[in-house]
Amino acid sequence: MHDQPAHTESFAAEDPRGMHIAGDAIGRQLQDIAILTRETAQQLGTAMGINQTDLALMEQLITHGPLSPNELAARLAVTTAGVTLVIDRLERAGHVTRVRQQDDKRRVLVHPVPASVAQTYRHIAPMLDGLDAVLGALSANERTTIEHFLQQVITVYRTTLPTPSEKKTK
């Protein structure tokens, strides 16, 4: 069992806006999920021998399929020069390949290496299996309520994050 972070209560008490989401049980659970997600990503990065930026790029490729360097730069909110460095690192480590398109030799797509995708899934399979079991035990009404709640949380995150153009100006 994962212990609650020791700073949670003091965070809620010190919030200058008077907001106490971390003091609410669901707020604490969302905070725990965020912390555990970062810890899982750190462990996966360590297992694969890559850093968190590299892992973020791999996540984009695994989730969305092959992407161009420009698409990856936009999704990661980094410069094309910065994403080139990440792709170079991942290519040297054997996690991605660059594939020049047959119909347009100027266009290159970055592909995840199947063995790296398999390694990723092997690492997170126990978590995915556990989540599948939890989801499988939900009633239709519970699913509807949770889906609605999570969509609202996702909307809050998306509307409070800066747009890619705002990120570049900061």
pTM: 0.73
Q: Which two tokens stand for residue 36?
A: 């555990």
Q: State which residues form the domain around 153.
A: 20-160
- Which CATH number do you get for residue 70? 1.10.10.10
Helix axes 25-48, 114-136, angle to 10 degrees: 160
Classify residue 166: in a domain, yes or no: no
Higher pLDDT pick, 160 / 162: 160
The 10 Å Cβ neighbour count of residue 110 is 23
**Do the domain assignments include residue 169?**
no
Which residue matches tokens 């969509």?
151
Helix (H, G, I), strand (E, B) or coil at 99: strand
Q: What angle do CA 37, 78, 94 make, to 5 degrees?
A: 70
Q: What is the pLDDT of residues 90-141, one digit of tens each?
A: 999 999 999 998 887 788 999 999 999 999 999 999 999 999 999 999 999 9
The whole-number pLDDT of residue 14 equals 52
pLDDT higher than 90, residue 24: no
Could you tell me if residue 13 is inside a domain? Answer: no
Question: Is 75 within the bounds of a domain?
Answer: yes
pLDDT digits (tens, 9 = 90+) for 26-78: 989 999 999 999 999 999 999 999 999 999 999 999 999 999 999 999 999 99
Q: How many residues does the chain have?
A: 170
